[in-house]
Structure formats: structure tokens, C-alpha cells
């Protein structure tokens, strides 16, 4: 029933401003979950073989990428739609309004989105509190963490450490976002030397936190699809030597080649959806070749069909995440990918 209703819901949501539609749909999911309606409407999903990775058990290989549930307050509702794992955020140490509106644009003919949200979120304390209220979702919950916009890059490690320490008791994994194009200077932290210093700092804290809490929470980095071959080689060496436990590839792209001519093509921000499919898959393949199976990869970027997901797996991903295609196709896509 929920699948059949989505085309109508999408027509209604797409008649609204993109950001208003986002808040409306997330609120509707929460209300449906709390009232028990979603429990009865949620379809039965095909049985899927669970996969163990990074010391975690994933019910299936299809996850929700960061960006949809920025606050971590819709986990149980989203879990009803079939996701095997959910990544919340990006969350920063302090609450942040993000960039001026409008900052979210649909490129409908391309099944794409451009966003320059700017890490709008309620801050790590509220994010942790929200996740603690999740009671029914059984899959891993990841925290995607970032630095506040007004924190200079030389102090970025302090922001990531603050989020790591506060999220550690409730997170199943931590994803360090170095690749959003919407926080000035953030992508500079992807340089091999900067990444090496940050990873070393986080790993030292992780060791202490593991002892303190009696549980090990893996640390992953999320990278952009716009890296050169040399940057990928240098980063791979850094990640292997530094003990990174997982890579999320990729974030949104700055490349506008595949949407040239669209009225929104020149809007600032990161482009996601079908136009990034090939670039993300190629990036996964290059990192996979460098890793030789030593670091697992979560593939994300333009997965809008079973074939797209299989291409990511063939390129070297062990798990995949969706976001933009979920906006366009709804819960039926999750079912298709799991089957």
C-alpha cells in the first residue's frame, strides 16, 4: 500500500518548495510511525542475507545515506521502509542554521538534486538524545560528523573529536565528513597530510573511548567523487597506514557536465543523483584497487536501480547507500534493491 501511494505523495511533495517538502515528508513519517499507521502499512520485504562488516551485522546491504535524517529523529520510521542501516547527520558540535535559503534544488529531468544546505543541524547533543529514543530499528546507526562553519581548519580536529566523544556511546559507526562542498575549506581536509593528522588524532581518541565504554566503534571517512587519480593513491596510502576502518565513496560532485543547460545547473552546491552515477562508481573502483580488500567501502552516488547497485558492488563496494533516488522513486526502490 505504501508503494502504491507514493506516486500521489510525490506529486504533492514536488508541488512544494524542495526544503518544505523534505520537512513535510519527514514529519509525516514520524507521525505515521508514532500512531502505528506505518507499522501496518509497511510492506513485507524479501528475505536478505545479513552481512557482517567492520564488526557490525547489517540485516541487508542497502542503507540510507546521510543528509535525509539530519537530526536522527526519524530512524524508526525510516527503518520500517526496509533500510538495513541508517546514517544520520551531518552533525556538528554546536547547532548550525546552515546556508541562506533557497539552498535545495530539484533537477527533475535528470533525477538529480543540487544542495548547499551547509550542515544545518541541531548539534551533537540533540542528535545523540534523538538516537537514544530509537526503539524498533535493528540495523546499525551511523553518525556522520562535521565541523562547524566558523571553526577554522586548523582547529577542525577539535570539532570532530567533540562529536566522536559524544556520539561514541550510541553510534554503531562514525563517518567523518571531509567532502561536503558546502562548508568553505572543508574539502582541503581531504589532502593526504591533513587526513593523516586527523585520522591519527581520531584513532587515539577511539582507543581511549573503546576502553572507557567497553565497545569498539569503527571510524570511516567520506570522500568526494572529484578526486584526481594521484589524490586517490595518496589518500589510499594514508588510510591504509592510519588504520581507517571503512570508506564511504562518494559525496556530491561539483561537476555540472551532465546537467549543462538546466536552469539550476549553475547553482552553487553539490550535485547528487543520476548524474554522479558513473563518477562515483569509478572512484569506488580506484579506491578498491588501492585497498586490495583491506578497507571495506560503502558505495553511494546515483544508485537508482538494481543494476546501479550491482555496478557499485562489482567496483568493490560491500554496502551501498541511497538518498536522491529515494526522493524520486520512494520506498519501492528499497524493495527493488534488497530483492
Concatenating the DSSP letter of every residue in 78-93 gives HHTTT-SEEEEEEE-S
Beta pairing class for 112-115 and 270-273: antiparallel
- Asked if 15 is an active-site residue, the reply is no
Strand, helix or coil for residue 17: coil
Say which of 25, 32, 180, 195 is annotated catalytic.
180
**Cα 255 → chain centroid:** 19
- Say if CB 78 and CB 61 are below 8 A apart: no
- Say if CB 179 and CB 146 are below 8 A apart: no
Strand, helix or coil for residue 231: helix
Give the 3-state secondary structure percentages of the chain, helix then strand then coil, rounded to 5. Answer: 45, 15, 40
Residue 126, phi-psi category: left (phi > 0), alpha (psi -120 to 50), beta (remainder)? alpha
Output the furthest CA–CA distance in the chain (Å, rounded).
54
What CA–CA distance (Å, rounded) separates 335 from 333?
A: 5
For residue 114, the tally of other CB atoms under 10 A from its CB is: 26
- Say if CB 71 and CB 126 are below 8 A apart: yes
Among 193, 192, 196, CA closest to 228: 192
For residue 9, the tally of other CB atoms under 10 A from its CB is: 15
Active-site positions?
180
Amino acid at each position: 500500500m505504501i508503494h502504491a501511494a507514493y506516486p500521489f505523495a510525490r506529486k504533492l511533495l514536488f508541488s512544494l518548495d524542495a526544503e518544505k517538502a523534505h520537512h513535510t515528508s519527514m514529519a509525516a513519517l514520524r507521525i505515521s510511525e508514532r500512531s502505528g499507521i506505518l507499522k501496518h502499512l509497511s510492506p513485507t520485504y524479501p528475505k536478505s542475507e545479513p552481512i557482517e562488516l567492520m564488526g557490525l551485522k547489517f540485516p541487508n546491504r542497502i542503507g540510507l545515506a546521510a543528509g535525509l535524517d539530519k537530526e536522527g529523529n526519524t530512524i524508526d520510521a525510516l527503518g520500517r521502509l526496509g533500510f538495513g542501516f541508517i546514517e544520520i547527520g551531518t552533525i556538528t558540535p554546536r547547532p548550525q542554521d546552515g546556508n541562506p535559503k533557497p539552498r535545495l534544488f530539484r533537477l527533475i529531468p535528470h533525477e538529480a538534486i543540487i544542495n548547499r544546505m551547509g550542515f544545518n543541524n541541531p548539534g551533537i547533543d540533540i542528535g545523540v538524545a534523538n538516537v537514544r529514543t530509537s526503539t524498533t530499528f535493528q540495523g546499525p546507526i551511523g553518525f556522520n560528523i562535521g565541523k562547524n562553519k566558523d571553526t577554522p581548519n586548523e582547529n577542525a580536529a577539535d570539532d570532530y573529536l567533540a562529536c566522536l566523544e559524544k556520539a561514541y556511546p550510541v553510534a554503531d559507526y562514525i563517518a567523518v565528513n571531509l567532502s561536503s562542498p558546502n562548508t568553505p575549506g572543508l574539502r582541503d581536509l581531504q589532502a593526504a597530510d591533513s587526513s593523516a593528522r586527523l585520522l591519527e588524532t581520531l584513532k587515539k581518541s577511539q582507543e581511549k573511548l573503546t576502553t572507557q565504554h567497553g565497545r569498539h566503534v569503527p571510524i570511516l571517512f567520506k570522500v568526494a567523487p572529484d578526486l584526481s587519480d594521484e589524490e586517490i593513491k595518496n589518500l589510499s596510502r594514508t588510510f591504509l597506514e592510519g588504520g581507517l576502518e571503512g570508506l564511504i565513496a562518494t559525496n556530491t560532485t561539483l561537476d555540472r557536465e551532465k546537467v549543462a543547460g538546466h536552469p539550476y545547473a549553475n547553482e552553487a552546491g553539490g550535485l547528487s543523483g543520476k548524474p554522479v552515477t558513473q563518477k562515483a562508481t569509478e572512484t569506488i573502483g580506484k579506491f578498491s584497487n588501492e585497498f586490495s580488500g583491506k578497507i571495506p567501502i560503502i558505495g553511494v552516488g546515483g544508485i537508482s536501480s538494481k543494476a546501479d547497485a550491482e555496478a557499485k558492488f562489482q567496483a568493490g563496494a560491500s554496502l551501498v547507500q541511497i538518498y536522491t533516488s529515494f526522493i524520486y522513486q520512494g520506498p519501492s526502490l528499497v524493495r527493488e534493491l534488497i530483492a
